[in-house]
Amino acid sequence: MPQARPVFNINDRFLEADNRGLARIIDFYRFASAYSNTWITLDLSRCQHMDANLCAPLLAVIELVKTQKRVRTFMEFGDIVNVFYRNGMMSHLQGLGNNNEYEDERESTIPLKKFDQADDEIFCNYVAKDFFGHRGLFKVPKKIKDALAEHYAEIFTNVGIHARTDLPVYCCGQYFPQKNVLKFTLVDLGVGFLTPIQEKTTGGIDNDNDAIIWATSDFNTTKDESLGPGGTGLKLLKEYCYKNNGSLHICSGKGFVNMLNNRALEFRMPHPFPGSIINIIIRKI
């Protein structure tokens, strides 16, 4: 008889893009990484809701274990399957990449996209059209949206420098009209915040959360001065959130920092994420 396919069950009824939701994604990554040259099943059928922007870290780790361990993932979606068609997750799983052939009739998702390091212009167009052109941000002044788009352009451009990786960047988001909230997530699969910052500070920063806070403070940057100024993108995203009742979540390694209301709430993840996650929540749009 053929051997049964390994199954990872996520039993949470609600999965949100916070430290607890991301912990489940990391748990799945650890589970999948223990295998090689096989298929596994990720069972989400018990979930009643999953924030669509969690698809960015989820797809990132699905493709990472496929590349590293030749582990392929079959997903059981259950009743929440519709959003995975609408935001493009299903198209990625079907091998169609960014070419989503399904329509989002609710106009609530920011499509799941994967970008290579050389896709600067494509990424900037995506941020301008799909993120800041989304109906959920209609009331945000153009001047502010343009400035925020520039911050994201800097973050994307610096992934290769700070994250030290040529692996893709993953992005997606979701608008919740009844709550008047929009969430957007960007993921890279690089070395994380701590390694380059620990080197830059000669060991002065020695843990993930301190590295995240350092990177979002005082225009700090690990960028070589000869390459021009850096360190503004994350800091200015944080300042926007502080001034507009938003939140900036950053997860890297075992670190997770939630920046809101002029304070940084620190959490320690049970296990490290293999890269970095930047999640912005825009409220009362």
Q: What is the pLDDT along the chain (285 residues), one digit of tens a residue?
A: 456 899 999 999 999 999 999 999 999 999 999 999 999 999 999 999 999 999 999 999 999 999 999 999 999 999 999 999 999 999 999 999 999 999 999 999 999 999 999 999 999 999 999 999 999 999 999 999 999 999 999 999 988 888 899 999 999 999 999 999 999 999 999 999 999 999 999 999 999 999 999 999 987 777 665 444 455 899 999 999 999 999 999 999 999 999 999 999 999 999 999 999 999 999 987
Domain boundaries in the chain?
7-283
Whole-Å CA distances, 158 to 36, 117, 153, 250: 32, 10, 9, 16
Question: How far is 58 from 24, CA to CA, in rounded Å?
Answer: 10
Determine the pLDDT at residue 231: 58
Give the position of tokens 């392929």: 72
φ and ψ of 271, to 5 deg: -140, 155
Looking at domain 7-283, what is its CATH homologous superfamily?
Histidine kinase-like ATPase, C-terminal domain (3.30.565.10)
How far, in Å, CA of 23 to CA of 3, rounded? 29
Q: What pLDDT, on the 0 to 100 scale, is given for residue 74?
A: 97
| Distance in angstroms (rounded) separating the CA atoms of residues 57 and 215 | 21
| CA pair distance 180, 187, nearest whole angstrom | 24
Neighbouring-strand partners of residue 2: none
pLDDT at 1: 43
Is the distance from CB of 188 to CB of 274 less than 8 angstroms? no
Distance CA 64, CA 71 (A): 9
Q: What is the pLDDT of residue 229?
A: 47
Contact 53, 83 (CB under 8 A): no
d(CA 170, CA 25): 14
Distance CA 185, CA 171 (A): 6
Element (DSSP H or E) covering residue 83? helix 81-86
- CA pair distance 16, 194, nearest whole angstrom: 25
Q: Which of 261, 187, 177, 239 is nearest to 22 (CA)?
A: 187
pTM of the predicted structure, to 2 decimals: 0.95
In residues, how long is the chain?
Answer: 285
E strand or H helix at 282: strand 263-283
Which structure tokens are listed for 256?
Answer: 């997770």
